[in-house]
Structure 1
């Protein structure tokens, strides 16, 4: 999958909200066509994937025989991280509970423990939403049914693209292993079956472009150091 760079998930959410009232086009360096599916796999490839932790989820973390390292309601912050005793900042966003368990265990074992017995559970998920912005009829934040949906399904929830939307400029942004990734999809090709329908997951941001303001999105990326996709633009 494509890897994202970014400074703050909270800032990214702010960005998505700000884009709701303006038209945008993707930068030329963003992955598109077949390369875009290296970022977001088609529906079949991800439909059975394990749940991945997102910003604002709440976790239970237990370390056997050590109450000082055990929490029953630990919040993940807007950056997808939390602070943990002895090992400091832990990035949870994009990880399954099993992957996070292994990360915490490994860091504890490296510095303080001999075979720490760690368990992680997700108490509640606040990240099972997708933000749909740009040239759609009803921009907003929409809940994912069963934690997964396709790009077409989420755009349909936003009441479809507007008449002026650029269907070949549909951008999707995602947090993966604490980094931000992005790709461009052609909605017209997906609709007629000429391209796969990518699977979305909680925390994704969809921006449907509009050619009315050429380069608006590129200009934003150039001036926003916290939101740098793939490489320098």
Structure 2
């Protein structure tokens, strides 16, 4: 996605797009500042609806340090529901069509394949908020029944994104810095790759996109393969 011509999103030292592994593509600065601000504003509105964001509880009883709002399907480790079963039981917020279109553009651009983008219709979004020492351990996104790629959009404070193997969570790992506006897509042979966010990088300069001090927002788009 081209930056908005008047948003001042040009970097002094451009970061090239990279193929981190087969099916894993990092596109720095994919979102212009206006698009980032619009997404942050949308995320704030979603968090105000119903019971709002929550820190999910893992099966062993531990609570995640990341706060999450779900769209389309409500993610509960490790399943999906149409209702917010671990909150007040209300219906999950709908997945907006414009967000599905954004995901399709992301896949088409990352893979340089318009057909792949046209075929990509996500119906799940996890909007994750990281603050302070929040982090995400190494895991797979495997609750989905469809093999379509995962689209990740970063907003606000930078982070270290760690990617490993689709077969195990042990190293060796590859670490990449994700900054505000960056796009990451993983799919194909690495659709089930283990990945995580070991730390935030609050010392990095952050564009004024509407996030709070030291806050990172991440929108993760997926195709559930579920019906009903």
User: For this structure pair, what is the TM-score category when the shorter chain's length is used for normalisation?
Assistant: under 0.3
TM-score by length of 1: 0.26
| Bigger fraction of residues in helix | 1
- Which has more radius of gyration? 1
Query: Greater RCO between the two (CA within 8 Å, min separation 6)?
Result: 1
